[in-house]
Amino acid sequence: MELLIWIGAAISLLGLTGIVGCVVAVTRAKRAGLDDEAMRARLQKVVAWNLGSLFTSAIGLAMVAVGVILS
């Protein structure tokens, strides 16, 4: 079960990296000074990316929890 914990931690770290990437993307979009329509289009893409990253991180944390419970 130790392997499950490490794989879960790696997946969770991957999701966390995606969330940090979302923050960077939104910061860059704000600094670009886009008009309203372009900003909405860019943020819609980032929202999808953010939800995917959050889901990935949650799956990784669930794997860690299962691994700890089964150990």
Residue 32's pLDDT is 86
Q: Residue 8 and residue 1: Cα distance in Å, rounded?
A: 11
Beta strands in 1-71 (DSSP E): none
pLDDT band, very low/low/confident/very high, at 71 (cuts 50, 70, 90): confident
Report the predicted TM-score, pTM, of the whole model to 2 decimal places. 0.81
- The closest of 24, 17, 9, 5 to 54, measured between CA atoms, is 17
pLDDT digits (tens, 9 = 90+) for 4-55: 999 999 999 999 999 999 999 999 988 988 888 889 988 998 999 999 999 9
Residue 54's pLDDT is 95
Q: Name the residue range of residue 18's domain.
A: 2-70
Number of domains in the chain: 1
